[in-house]
Structure 1
């Protein structure tokens, strides 16, 4: 090798060695960069934390390495080793030279970084310059900006915004550190100590945003701001904010400010506060629930929904609320909730209310009522204990509680309360099932209460004792012979709510047990028919006999004498019932084809007739007697166990032939939307239409049973229709009593008299919702969370708020919607307590809808019309205005016992819910 070439080669190696030695001394972290050579530029980085920032659009001049001060390399007898991993990648990489010693001021972890344009390294000055969408990561700190500079001597990373040729800024620094996010114009952060100074920053804490001209962050992550604004509006220029010179943020706890002024649309308002504390809601936080002001015409001025929330950990919490009025009315409410993930969740609500209307000195105008309401709901995760389920939905209280204390539409138009508690167990691999329950129903109008407890049922599903495990050859008829068992225990009582807990309530308590043993099997005959013989036996046990007798001297009203007395006899009574039956069923299909040019392709009719014969001996004749129910001496056959909790066996012997016919009607039409070759679409005209009756060959009179008819359909997937009725084929006299003579024998072309009927129709229309899929996904997520945590309780409270204030919870994504439903019921029957035939006919139409006047204004109404009373039902009207981060609503209840007017302006954010402005007036017509 040539001598000069060798000398140049040694100088080249020496220069490389000096360069890498400088990097080892100057840079204690691994380089992982995407870089290309940058053009020469001038500029220097200030070494002080508070020095001015160099111009972000200028690049430093890379000094000539020949003019750098020469440093002697450390003495070594070995040639410097350069592995493939020791050289930085041309674009993105990490220097990983093995260091014999680690500097005392080295960082705890590597820094990875990259830049889209270029990275410039000044080794003697220990500085890095990043250009073009720069990104650096160190432990839990991530910084993104268009321009960044790092000074290794001070450990300060500085990020600035760049400007384009039009002078528009872009590439604002974005800092994320330990879950905190900052958006700013200029940012300086000490990588090692995590102290930072941020200019013109915007950061989010929970539901709130803090905008500051200058911000300092301490190593403990606390924030100090100068010239700040706090808002829950997510716009760069918020609609409103609280302006304060000084502010402090304690992460995950509080935002605290000194004197603050409310500013709306950039205009200061006269509203000043001496200080402000805004909680940063992360998880469970105990605290005060600020009440809202209300004016009630009967109760006076008051404060409502104030109280305290107590967080008791991940499994428990409690909400205490109350309201008080100037005229002496008050209400207290306690709502504890509990949960265990993947096991169960539930909660209680106990409300006690004391209502005072009018002047106590004037008794005719004074009303006082003390009421209560108790609710409990519990749900169990199905995976917690396979085979066992437990759930509860309890809701009971006094009849007047809704009248004085509940104002939402759904509760005002509902006059019943119901409860249920259920437990069930199934044995895997075995045919046994066990269920037990407590149920309660309460009519708030008639004040009748029915409670069934305890109720239990043990069931053995049908088993086939003669069927072998492996059938060889053709199955025998007795292989299909099945036997089952059903045992029921039930205790029930019906009483007026005024006698709750008194002797009259326990006198009416009925207890009973029923055992049922069905035996059945099915045999296919004549190819398309199924023959099903069966035998059943039922045993009834009772603990109380109810005896009702006519008392001619009993005064039931001022102008009427005579009534029915009821007495009870305790003991052990039995009754039984047995029957044998055989049935034959099939299905008949009919098709009518239209011409090829017709849009209607075909109509298919399916009929499913069933005929059966049964025999029932008279085993329960001692359980029945004749009851006189009026002064004319007319009687009615009635059971001693009419109020039995497990039912009563049928009276008399029977040899009946029963007939039933079910129909289904479908149509095929031409459809362009069908992508198949047929271009057909199925439309259901009738989901079901049928008639059932029976004829008792052994009865002395009235052998033909009433005809039971029904129909159901869903036309065009829009109109749901269900109807049912009962037709009595016998005539009646002038008092409504049945005569043993068919209606058609009198020359009338009719099956009989309509004794009861009902029809219900409902439909819904709405414009297209562009966000329907996203909302459906959110609902599914909520439903999934409800089985594992407290989300169910939160949703229940939210639904209650929606019902109370529908104008504050409207969907502006749907321009209009309309829900309609109509119901009609008719009945004509003999009621022994009234002394004759009673006809009832009810019609009701309900409607609910809203429409948007503009994308931000919406008007809605929920109401109904009672045809019997010929007047509107409870009506709720509302107007809503979307103000982006605020919402205004006007609610009006114009008619009815309870009337109200209210106007509310409130922030959408839950953290500022106490800032709502509410003005309301409430009136009662007692």
Structure 2
């Protein structure tokens, strides 16, 4: 410190403040007399703005700059004068620097993990370590980048580790386009890029190019390219093309291309290639598949055209043609309106020729058709209204000549259903109308029911007040309901379709039912009285009479029956009153605490009912003689075979009884997460018996006994069984006698007349990707709900059934499904005493196992123990080729034999690029 101020601090601070104020005033004077202008050093300004010499480097925002005549080279502040005021108002203007020629039209965001170096004189900057640059929609990532402001070119390259291996490959993303390369140059000014040794993805396809040019409109030009759907860096296959062009979101077009497999060129050349990369609906040709059929000759199958007609409709046309003259055509339109309805229709026509037309005795021709239609309505479209259709109708021989999958071949029954239903909101009634069709392809019988309508009124309680207070009285529980059914049906052979014979067989009927019921708790029992009234309406009456002059040599029986029909309105009635009693009885057996079995619980649910039925249907029956003996007379109904049934004749006082049992076991389980560490096991889901006893009948008062049992052992083995026992004995001629079996000295409830038992189980190893598949399944269900999801699943299952070798799951090492069925029936022919026994025993098995992680063998077959014959058998071998799949299907024996080998890409884009060899044989 200066000595003069050593002890005088006030004098020191006054001197310091004076000096500081003088410096600040000097700065203000300089600023007041200064004006905006370029730096005297031209290079200083050019390094940042690159302005044009001789022109001003500033531009006003609001108005032109006003030059002051008193000061040359200086801007003056414009002054606005108000005529009503003596003072003048000064308004200042804002100025911004003029953009240089090499400036960009959008900001560039950049960052780097390691460092960023800016070279101002050279107008370049360098980014090191996981660098990222974003400009508009362009996102570029690379290990190293450098940018030149003078040229506007950004270069991205890789780096090398200590072993000389490159890492940090440049990845360019621009919208839906992705480029993976080792060197990339991008011009921000022209928005063009040149990429070296790039790998880009377009939809399901990948393009490998030595050099790629990207234009400003996003179109791509490649040189020395390879196109593939294999997602490996070194693909298993690719199409080699010298030049290729990519039109974004539309097409990939190439010149002459050669198929290369595992790096080895093949003799397969194509003059050009067009690969679509668009999403959504597009019309186009469907390539056919080459096949060889022993009966039809060389052929092309499933060729056609797909026609997209908008968001709501499309049409697929497919056809088959063979060298021996057979052909088929299928039209498949589909329609959809989101959140309202969707459906599809298949119309198929086929002509199959066998033999030489010149030799009439050996030549046959079959003309067939098949119509299928499915329609589903969204439940939210019109609450309370639903319309659905599932139609499958055609000639009986269509499957024989035109269908080759296992499940369709072995199923001889097809059916259809079209239904409309309406439920009134807030009302207790509903209406349903439907068309139903059943067809047996073996016997050629067809059953059609249309219109089939029903109207139902749900149970209402007429004696119950609107606001119920307290415990209801017994009469307040009385419920009344109503239902009516209208049926029109016809049963005929397929050769009678739309002919007079078909309409002559048409039957019409109507049934009305009014039940009245209520329930009363009596201790641990439930008492349920009820009254039921039914009325039947018919439009045709069948009158049968015995003609003793007719002789049938086949049965060596004198006499015959003549049948005539009478049209009109006819009615029959039936009424009954009943009361039933039911309860549940529980029994428990508890084991010791040290036992692994903790307890066994037995639940019995007995039911008993008493009913009375007066004889109101006497006028609906007639006595018919069928022989010369006095006892050759029987009571028959005028309306046998009616679509609404026939009321029973005679009085009946029935005591009906039933007993259902349930058996469960509780065992110790370490896997259980609860505190008890116990697990319930069902031993018997149900086991019971039902029957009735007629108190008024003169004979045969006891009905047959119906028994059943079902269980699921260890949650793996499903078992179900049922049968019928006749409690009466028969004589040598097969006639039933009014004598019980146990009265004849047999310890049994009756003769077993029919029975069946089925068992099924399934085993498989753990799925390696079960969680991923569950997630995909949930996503699919979220996208498609209700009937749409069901139909999508059905279409997928149909594809799997048609080509089991192409849809195997390599994530499951092994799988096996087993099922066993046994049916038995025994009937005695009256008069002759002959016994007819039908006994069927069949086992079915299907499964697959993996020889290696990429090889899988599967088998679908069965065995008939009665005929000692192997059932329809289908064997397949599949090989996972990563991006391709090979399948070999073999049907070695039977009526329909077939061999096929298929090699096809997994990608849906190249699904028509498949190699198939098929041989089919018929043993008619």
TM over 0.5: yes
Map 1:531-570 → 2, pairs under 5 A: 531-548=527-544, 566-570=563-567
Equivalences for residues 256-271 of structure 1 within 5 A: 256-271=253-268
Q: Secondary structure at the match of 2:315?
A: strand
Q: Distance in 2 between matches of 1:452 and 1:7?
A: 110
- Identify the residue that residue 13 of structure 2 maps to in structure 1: none
Q: Secondary structure at the match of 2:780?
A: helix
Deviates more, 1:626-635 or 1:709-718: 626-635
Matched, 1:445 2:458: no
CA distance in 2, matches of 1:104, 1:9: 35
Aligned equivalents of 2:660 and 2:354: distance in 1? Answer: 58
> Could you tell me how far 1:813 is from its partner in structure 2?
0.5
Alpha carbons of structure 1 residues 327 and 416: separation in structure 2 relative to 1, 3 Å = same
Report if the CA contact (8 A) 1:345-1:788 is conserved.
no
Structure number with larger C-alpha Rg: 2
SS at match of 2:743: helix
Q: Secondary structure at the match of 2:258?
A: strand
- Assess, with a 3 A threshold, how the Cα gap between structure 1 residues 325 and 634 changes in structure 2: closer, same or farther: farther
Return the offset for 1:100. 7.1
Matched, 1:807 2:805: yes
Match of 1:70 in 2: none
| 247, 250, 254: which one aligns with 1:250 | 247
Alignment of 1:480-559 (within 5 A): 480-525=477-522, 527-548=523-544
Q: Which residue of 2 aligns with 1:671?
A: 669
Unaligned runs of 5+ in 2: 1-16, 52-72, 78-93
- On the 8 A contact 2:50/2:101 being kept in 1, the answer is no
Q: Which moved more, 1:238-247 or 1:550-559?
A: 550-559
Q: 2:389 aligns with which of 387, 392, 403?
A: 392
Deviation at 1:207, TM superposition (A): 1.4
Given that residues 453 and 486 in structure 2 are in contact (C-alpha distance below 8 angstroms), is that contact kept between their aligned partners in structure 1?
yes
The answer to whether 1:137 aligns with 2:144 is no
8 Å CA contact 2:822–2:840 kept in 1: the answer is yes
Partner of 1:46: none
- State the distance in 2 between where 1:7 and 1:263 align: 84
Distance 1:826 1:506, change over 3 A: farther
Q: Residue 212 of structure 1 is aligned with which of 184, 209, 212?
A: 209
Q: Give the deviation of 1:838 after TM superposition.
A: 5.0
Match of 1:819 in 2: 817
Q: Where does 1:64-75 land on structure 2 (aligned, <5 Å)?
A: none
1:796–1:747: structure 2 CA closer, same or farther, 3 Å change rule? closer
Give 1:6-405 correspondences, 5 Å limit. 26=49, 107-405=104-402
| Residue of structure 2 in register with 1:873 after alignment | 871
Query: Deviation of residue 842 (structure 1)?
Result: 2.3
**Is residue 597 from structure 1 mapped to residue 594 from structure 2 by the alignment?**
yes
Q: What is the aligned partner in structure 2 of residue 731 from structure 1?
A: 729
Normalised to the residue count of structure 2, the TM-score between the two structures is 0.87
SS in 2 for 1:430: coil
Quote the offset at 1:134 in angstroms. 2.0
1:435 matched to 2:432: yes
- Cα 1:637–1:196 change in 2 (3 A) is farther
Match of 1:773, SS state, is helix
Q: CA 1:217–1:816 in 2, change beyond 3 Å: closer, same or farther? A: same
Change (3 A) 1:787 1:176: same
Deviation at 1:780, TM superposition (A): 3.5
Report the counterpart of residue 646 of structure 1 in structure 2: 644
CA distance in 2, matches of 1:422, 1:431: 20
Counterpart Cα distance in 1 of 2:49 and 2:283: 51
The CA deviation string for residues 12-71 of structure 1, in whole angstroms up to 9 with x for no partner, is x999x999x97996599xxxxxxxxxxxxxxxxxxxxxxxxxxxxxxxxxxxxxxxxxxx
**1: CA distance between counterparts of 2:552 and 2:358?**
35
Alignment size in residue pairs: 860
Aligned equivalents of 1:518, 1:272: Cα separation in 2: 78
1:465-507 CA distance string (max 9 Å, x none): 2112333343211111111111111111111111111222112
Match of 2:579 in 1: 582
Q: CA deviation at 1:129?
A: 2.5
- CA shift for structure 1 position 818: 0.5
Residue 343 of structure 1: how far off its partner (Å): 1.2
Taking a change above 3 Å as real, the CA distance of residues 339 and 25 of structure 1, as seen in their structure-2 partners, is farther
Gaps of 5+ in 1: 29-73, 79-96
C-alpha spacing 1:636/1:497, structure 2 compared with 1 (3 Å):
farther
Provide the rounded CA distance (Å) in 2 between the counterparts of 1:703 and 1:676: 54
Superposed CA RMSD in Å reads 3.2
* CA distance in 2: counterparts of 1:752 and 1:252, whole angstroms: 76
TM-aligned CA distance change 1:99 to 1:122, over 3 Å: farther
* Shift, 1:152, TM fit: 3.9
Q: For 1:541 and 1:595, locate their aligned partners in 2 and report how far apart those are by CA, in whole Å.
A: 65
Distance 1:559 1:571 in 2: 36
Measure, in 2, the Cα distance between the counterparts of 1:886 and 1:407: 24
- Equivalent pair of 1:26/1:126 in contact (CA under 8 Å): no
Cα deviations across residues 651-700 of structure 1 (Å, max 9, x unaligned)? Answer: 22111111111110000011111122321110000111111111111112
Relative to structure 2, which stretch is displaced further, 826-835 or 675-684?
Answer: 826-835
Report matched runs for 1:624-635 at 5 Å. Answer: 624-626=621-623, 634=632
Instruction: Find the residue that maps to 2:451 and give its secondary structure.
Output: strand
TM (norm. structure 1) is 0.87
In the superposition, relative to structure 1, how do residues 849 and 173 fare at CA in structure 2: closer, same or farther (>3 Å)? same
Q: Sort the Cα spacing of 1:548 and 1:599 in 2 relative to 1 into closer, same or farther, 3 A.
A: farther
> Shift of residue 715 of structure 1?
0.7
1:857 aligns with 2:855: yes
Q: Distance in 1 between matches of 2:175 and 2:834?
A: 80
Task: Look up the SS of the partner of 2:683 in the other structure.
Answer: strand
Q: Is the 8 A contact 1:575 1:623 kept in 2?
A: yes
Change (3 A) 1:668 1:793: closer
SS at match of 2:216: coil
Change (3 A) 1:309 1:823: same
**Contact 2:734–2:830, Cα closer than 8 Å, also in 1:** no
Deviation at 1:131, TM superposition (A): 2.2
Give 1:414's aligned residue.
Answer: 411
Determine if contact 2:50/2:100 at 8 Å carries over to the other structure. no
Distance 1:412 1:578 in 2: 47
Other structure's SS at 1:498 match: helix
- After superposing the two structures, state which structure 1 stretch, 628-637 or 735-744, moved more: 628-637
Deviations 1:188-230 (A, max 9, x none): 2233543221111111112111100001112222111000001
Distance 1:221 1:828, change over 3 A: same
Contact 2:132 2:142 in 1 (8 A): yes
Q: Deviations along 1:106-156, whole A, 9 cap, x unmatched? A: 545433332222333344544333222222223322222222233344433
8 Å Cα contact 2:184/2:196 also seen in 1: yes
Does the 8 Å contact 2:735/2:831 carry over to 1? no
Q: Distance in 2 between matches of 1:628 and 1:106?
A: 112
User: Post-superposition shift, 1:586?
Assistant: 0.7
Q: CA deviation at 1:560?
A: 5.9
Contact 1:26/1:152 (<8 A) preserved: no
Q: 1:732: Cα distance to partner?
A: 2.0
Offset at residue 706 of structure 1 (A): 0.8
* In 2, Cα distance between equivalents of 1:782 and 1:737: 61
SS in 2 for 1:469: coil
How far apart, in 2, do the equivalents of 1:879 and 1:223 lie?
42
Q: Distance in 2 between matches of 1:641 and 1:509?
A: 13
Partners of 2:47 and 2:121 within 8 A in 1: no
Q: CA shift at 1:823, angstroms?
A: 1.7
Partner in structure 1 of residue 774 of structure 2 = 776
Aligned twin of 1:698: 696
In the superposition, relative to structure 1, how do residues 290 and 104 fare at CA in structure 2: closer, same or farther (>3 Å)?
same
